[in-house]
A = this chain, B = another copy of it.
Amino acid sequence: MLTREVISNYFKSLQDDICKQLEVADGEGEFREDAWQRAGGGGGRSRVIMGRHLEKGGVNFSAVHGDLPEKIGKALGIQAKEFFATGVSIVLHPSNPWVPIIHMNVRYFELDQEHWWFGGGIDLTPHYIFPEDAVFFHNTLKRVCDNHHPDYYPQFKTWADDYFYLKHRKETRGVGGVFFDRMGPEKGNKQDLFSFVQAIGETFCPVYIPLLQKHKDAAFDKQEKNWQGLRRGRYVEFNLVWDKGTKFGLDTDGRTESILMSLPPLANWVYDHQPEAGSREQQTLTLLKKGIDWVNYKEQ
């Protein structure tokens, strides 16, 4: 039976596996683990790497439970007393500006042992967009989604475009990916939905490590490093202003250091920065839009 324990044990092993693969890919860095307990019930294992290619990366596992805060109940529109939540969350900030930032999350939520659902997603935030990388990324995600349901990729791709959006900049956070939530009984049987979530989690390494390998040794100059800092600034803006998970965590006394592990090691803000017309920086900005069909994208 798919109990809480089975699901959270799977997420733990997923964390272990991803950390191992990332250490190999980095070649130098090792994850440091902080195990923590939540006063109200449960806890987690936060793991951080500060490596050679992965300048700052967090791979978090948690499984928490306890009284449902009123605020969450309201936000969910469900009356319940007890909650259980488990998942893995990842954000990696690479040193090299040609390597993209990546985020992945897979999660399971339960209320009063009665309501349950899965959620998650993967999205890619290149400092410089290489269309062929975005095409590879989206085709990989589409293949994984299509194995489970033909509607998943188109629906979850649009959901990611809408979710990872900086309204105040009129920019997407990056080239998107997939995002989904509230995948409960009305969306399929539990085993099938869990299999899909597992498949998403297991896509993380095969979809990211090749991009890391491809660009990690590419030469860059000061201007490109500076642009990386500006794009990281946008990442900070998204996470602190718009990301519901972050806000929610900070608002409900979550473990701050684990929540804010997603923030970059270094970020810049320059007043009214405008990249030169025709520059790579400016080309990247033109591609930070919703609704780009990356699966079938052809360079102009």
Contacts and interface: CB of A to CB of B under 8 A. Distances in A.
Interface of A: 34, 48, 50, 56, 58, 167-169, 229, 233, 236-237, 240-241, 247, 250-251, 253-254, 256-257, 259-261, 263-272
A55 to B, nearest CB: 11
A272 B257 contact: yes
Contacts of A253: 168
A267 B266 contact: yes
Given A56-B271, A261-B271, 18 more contacts: A50-B271, A167-B250, A167-B251, A168-B256, A169-B256, A229-B266, A236-B236, A236-B240, A236-B267, A237-B240, A240-B241, A241-B247, A260-B269, A263-B269, A264-B269, A265-B268, A266-B268, A266-B269
A251 B168 CA distance: 7
Given A229-B266, A240-B240, A240-B241, A271 B247 contact: no
Nearest to A240: B240
B250 A168 contact: yes
A247 B241 CA distance: 7
Copies of this chain per assembly: 2
Most buried by B among A58, A229, A247, A265: A265
A261 B269 CA distance: 8
Chain A interface, DSSP helix/strand/loop, else mixed: mixed
Contacts of A247: 241
Contacts of A169: 256
Most buried by B among A168, A169, A256: A168
Contacts of A266: 229, 266-269
Contacts of A241: 240-241, 247, 250
Given A240-B241, A250-B167, A58 B271 contact: yes
Contacts of A236: 236, 240, 267
Contacts of A56: 269, 271
A85 B116 CA distance: 47
